[in-house]
Amino acid sequence: ASVSVLKEFPDFNSSLNPAKDGLIVKKYWNIGFACDTPEGLVVPVIKDADQKGIMQISNDLAALSAKARDGKLSPAEMSGATFTISSLGGIGGTGFSPIVNAPEVAILGVVRSKMAPVWNGKEFIPRLMLPLSLSYDHRVVDGAAAARFARALAMVLEDIRRLAL
């Protein structure tokens, strides 16, 4: 879902080096994910996520997470991310402000989903809600672009069939 939206909003899949090249928009999608380990937080990277299906991504996530917890990740397995996702879903909470993992320009934070009453104009109905927190570097992304990115991601997640279109 993130890769789909990153393709729509390429500035979010970039790096910033103001001293040298400025903004470098990446044409590949390597997704970092924050992983809690006994030694602290590390960020393994799922390389070429755009070329993998959900099952391969799930397998990569499990394998890299196990290596991270065992302290066996190589430097190559923790480098090259173009965008990072951090999840506190396993721990809980209602929201947080993830810190951008430079030189990336954005990071997505997710927490545990929960059922909540939502007003549909006539009545409250139960709806599964997934809080998202998007942090970004204002030198590259402004608030309006961030809101559009977050809304596009929410639309994909609301109906995952959109990924097949």
Pick the catalytic residue: 138, 143, 164, 165?
138
Q: How far apart, in whole angstroms, are the C-alpha atoms of residue 129 and residue 105? A: 26
Q: Is 108 an active-site residue? A: no
How many Å apart are CA 157 and CA 163, to the nearest integer? Answer: 9
SS3 labels along 12-48: HHEEEECCCCEEEECCCCCEEECEEECCEEECCEECC
Give catalytic residues, as residue numbers: 138
